[in-house]
Chains A and B, each alone.
Chain A
Amino acid sequence: MASKKILKLLVYLLFAVLVLMPLFVIFMLAISKTWNYPSLWPKWVDWGYYFRFLITNAEMQASLLSSMELAVGTVVLTILIAYPTAMALSYYDFKGKKLLNILVYLPMIIPSIAVLTNMDFIMIKYGLNGSFFGVVSAHTLFCLPYAIKLLYDNLILWKDKYEVTSRNLGATPLQTFFKVTIPLNKNGLQGAVMMSYIVSMTQYLGTLLIGDGNYITLSVRMFPFTTEGKYRIAAVYGITFMLVTLIPLYLIDVWVTHKGRKLA
């Protein structure tokens, strides 16, 4: 028993190191200058650099804002579309369900160049390029597979058992949705929100192409630097990125776990 526990702890430890090591490296990159072979520690570390950069760089702040603006918009639109779809997929049996089940994956399967360049064309045609809705739609497209599938995984567990009950007791569809469906599936919803937020935050090409330069998000700024090997700046953006992703998601998590107890 004891050896098993120790083994488990070791696995945990290894896992933690594997997860944290890269994060640590990124952090060090962001605040260091010279870090060459074979030194294990950067020769020149400036702990304040990151914060000075964050505070003084107006661009960074603007990017932060547009990133979050888009992410929130995307989460809302994604959930609006994904929830009903996941419900249909998990509750109903209908012709073409199998096909739809596969089609849901499409946006993430088709290489983004093929989708986005042509989507840009469509957006230009409809006059949506550069608009908030246009960019959010582009993001949503790539969030949908994640959101639908995560919600589906969860919804299929109960099916519509409790919704039927709620409706039978006189609740309106909306009441049912908010009082029964959502609380029962909040794990799935949380997962879907989280993935949508993250996918939106990391969108690069879509934001750029369809945003017409109106939305210079963190990813948009960061991407060229990473491919170009400007590691320090990339790392600085990366840390910021991590913070704006982690903090809201952490808050959501706290809210979800504290509001009401865990299920069964």
Chain B
Amino acid sequence: GCSNKSNDSKGSEMPTSYKTALKEAKGKTVTFYGYGGSDTQNRWVDDVVTPMMKEKGIKVKRVPMNIEDILKKLTNEKEANKKSGNIDVVWINGENFLTAKKLSLLSGNLDNSLIPNMKTYISGSDPDAKSDMGTKINNMEVPFGNAQLVMIGSKQMFNGDYPTSSDKLLSWAKENPGKLTYVAPPDFTGSAFVRNIIYETVGFDAINKAPATKAGVYKAIKPSLDYLNELKPYLWQEGKTYPKTSAQMDKMFADHQIAMTFSYNQMYAATQRADGKFTDDAHTFVFDKGTVGNYSYLAVPKTSDNKAAAAVLINTMLSKKAETQRLKAKYGSAIPPYSGSKVPASITNDLNGQAKENNTLTMDELSKKRVPEVSAKKIPIIEDLWKEHVLNAD
């Protein structure tokens, strides 16, 4: 391999300040492990972050790996009693963070003194900076992405009147059978849609307070499941089958086979339009009661060999310079993970400008219509219940 480190060397120590980190990291190579299926995000790392790191004398290697595989690798290292490994920065959130924390795979100390940009742009009181889907963060993660579910509807098929609530959605479906569907959970967006329906039908509190057991959750979300079952016969293929991936659903939407698709990116319709995949007909909207928003994070495994470089990378990714670039369409127009109150004006303006230009929602609108995530533990339970009571309901 290209990294000539002996395997029994002890994983490096996490530096205590950014300054020492910067010094220590010079000449090192830092690996960034993350989901590689988004070419805009890949491009951002490669075109923006990597050159910035290079200026600091640090090389970046991006490894496209799914989070479950990353976790498995980390547990394998732990089981094999290895103190040092190859993974420096991980893109993680939710259930996986919960697991990683449980297995104590992550190193802590990712605090304000180590990551100065966190101090600048993220307020300590921001709930998303404190816990990740209900799991306390304890300085093990740093916010990286800010995503919120948006609906994309066909102007022509909805006649400009978008179903901004579950009730509207149901009645439109009854009038236009076969024109709606959603990706089957456990797909990421499909699962988010189901949670959104839960918020619509029983509200965030009900699910938030329910015990994290199958019975508990079932009791809480029974009305939601009923709603989905009522909707089912009016879905595409009468709900007997669902698209398997959001890509497939996007294609159906592009072909006007269905009237609505979802995305975790408010600019998705715009980028798809620019790409020629969607027509001008695609219109972004959210439910009146709001949609699920969640954060993704960066973390450093305990076995990382280059913790200093990892810290520098995280800080660089959070920098205004990098995040401003990230607003560009070719980098996916991603909203920075900054706390609402600390977003620099230039970025807000930029986003709002884009929103107008591309006929999508502004930052402001979005953050108003944002509902928090349920606890990570409950997500698989909800998915199971959906499978049992909606998908396989007779």
Contact = CB atoms under 8 A, between A and B. Distances in A.
Contacts of A214: 1-3
B197 interface: no
A42 to B, nearest CB: 9
A209 B233 CA distance: 42
Nearest to A42: B276
Contacts of A231: 247
B250 A121 contact: no
Interface in B215-269: 245-248, 250-251, 254-257
Nearest to A231: B247
A131 B1 contact: yes
A73 interface: no
A85 B259 CA distance: 58
B89 to A, nearest CB: 12
Interface string B78-101: 011010011100000000000000
A221 B37 contact: no
Given A36-B255, A37-B256, A120-B72, A224 B46 contact: no
B275 interface: yes
A180 interface: no
Interface string B24-40: 00000001010111110
Contacts of A43: 276
Given A213-B61, A229-B248, A121 B37 contact: no
A257 interface: no
A129 B87 CA distance: 12
Contacts of B7: 127
Contact of A33 (B37, B80, B275): B275
A121 B80 contact: yes
A224 B255 contact: no
B77 A124 contact: yes
Interface of A: 33-34, 36-37, 43-44, 59, 117, 120-121, 124-125, 127, 129-132, 205, 208-209, 212-214, 216, 220-221, 224-225, 227-231, 233
Interface in B80-132: 80, 82, 85-87
26 contacts: A33-B276, A33-B277, A36-B255, A37-B256, A117-B76, A120-B72, A124-B82, A125-B80, A130-B1, A130-B3, A208-B64, A208-B65, A209-B72, A213-B61, A213-B86, A213-B87, A214-B2, A221-B36, A224-B36, A224-B37, A224-B66, A225-B37, A227-B37, A228-B245, A228-B247, A229-B246
A233 to B, nearest CB: 6
Contacts of A120: 72-73, 76
A228 B251 CA distance: 12
A209 B86 contact: no
A36 B275 CA distance: 13
B390 to A, nearest CB: 24
A139 to B, nearest CB: 15
Contact of A121 (B31, B33, B61, B79): B79
Contacts of A33: 275-277
Interface of B: 1-3, 7, 31, 33, 35-39, 46, 61, 63-66, 69, 72-73, 76-77, 79-80, 82, 85-87, 245-248, 250-251, 254-257, 275-277
A211 B65 CA distance: 11
Contacts, number: 86
Nearest to B40: A230
Among A44, A121, A212, A233, which residue has the most Cβ atoms of chain B within 10 A?
A212
Given A34-B276, A209-B73, A212-B85, 6 more contacts: A59-B46, A125-B80, A205-B69, A212-B1, A221-B36, A224-B35
B33 A233 contact: no
B191 to A, nearest CB: 16
A122 to B, nearest CB: 9
Contacts of B72: 117, 120, 209
A234 to B, nearest CB: 10
Nearest to B72: A117
B39 A230 contact: yes
Nearest to B81: A125
A262 to B, nearest CB: 44
Contacts of A233: 39
